[in-house]
Amino acid sequence: MTSAELAILSILAERPYHGYEIEEFIEQRGLRDWTEIGFSSIYYLLRKLEQDGYIEKEFAKATRGPSRKVYNLTPAGQAAMQAAVGDFLSNPRPLYPPLHLGLANLNAISPTDALNSLTLYRDKLEERVEQLEMQRHTNGAKNPNVDALYDHHIHLLRAEREWIEGFIERFAARLETVQVHVGGNAHN
């Protein structure tokens, strides 16, 4: 099961929702910080989960306008969600952040551009930590599970920021050494 599918099932485990309400829930809880789930993929995922027998739809009378499709979690969906939660909690997954691909191809750009990009990355990490701290204060206080999500993500970002700061220092020192050797100052 994908993290996006689990996110949809976990939302529907709270209560039945229609598609637009699911999008609002995702935005409100900041779920895009933990899973790749785009607005356009919500209805695709709902159809897939319905085909798998994990959810079912019914038409609910709206106060205004036509009836709306409301999605409910089925017993099979509840069981699949519980199994996926256990799996996600017990099995570390590899991460493939774009940073890894950038580091693997660091030599494709000039050292100065690489250093500038890495510095910008570090600054954006710091901004992201600050944003999550504010969201945690707002959303995490209401639910210990949500607070744990924020706490974990913030700790990972802080560790990444610490690593990137050390890497920037080492990269800048190597760059300085290369420039000294190339400029001939190492022999003077």
Q: What is the pLDDT of residues 52-84, one digit of tens each?
A: 999 999 987 767 777 788 999 999 999 999 999
Do residues 84 and 118 both lie within one domain? no
Domain coverage including residue 183: 98-187
Do residues 78 and 108 both lie within one domain? no
Could you give the C-alpha distances from 182 to 27, 95, 177, in angstroms and in order?
A: 52, 38, 9
Helix (H) or strand (E) holding 59: strand 55-60
Examine the fold and report which residue of 71, 90, 109 is the final residue of a domain before the chain moves on: 90
Do residues 66 and 118 both lie within one domain? no
| DSSP state, residue 17 | B
pLDDT, tens digit (0-9, with 9 covering 90-100), for 142-161: 778 878 888 998 999 999 99
Do residues 117 and 65 both lie within one domain? no
Sign of CA dihedral 2, 95, 119, 137: positive
d(CA 76, CA 100): 37
Do residues 79 and 105 both lie within one domain? no
Where is pLDDT greater, at 77 or 18? 77
Number of independent structural domains in the chain: 2
pLDDT, tens digit (0-9, with 9 covering 90-100), for 88-102: 889 887 776 788 889
**Is the CB of residue 153 less than 8 Å from the CB of residue 34?**
yes
Do residues 55 and 39 both lie within one domain? yes
d(CA 74, CA 77): 5
Do residues 59 and 124 both lie within one domain? no
What residue type is assigned to position 41 of the chain? S
Do residues 58 and 113 both lie within one domain? no
Do residues 107 and 40 both lie within one domain? no
- The pLDDT of residue 181 is 60
Do residues 138 and 162 both lie within one domain? yes
Examine the fold and report which residue of 61, 90, 119 is the final residue of a domain before the chain moves on: 90
Q: What are phi and psi of 58, to 5 degrees?
A: -140, 160
What the block records as the tokens of 157 is: 């970002």
d(CA 58, CA 51): 14
Q: Where are the alpha helices (DSSP H) in the chain?
A: 3-14, 19-29, 41-51, 75-90, 98-104, 111-139, 144-183
Q: What are phi and psi of 17, to 5 degrees?
A: -135, 155
Do residues 176 and 112 both lie within one domain? yes
Examine the fold and report which residue of 72, 90, 108 is the final residue of a domain before the chain moves on: 90
Write down the pTM of the prediction.
Answer: 0.69
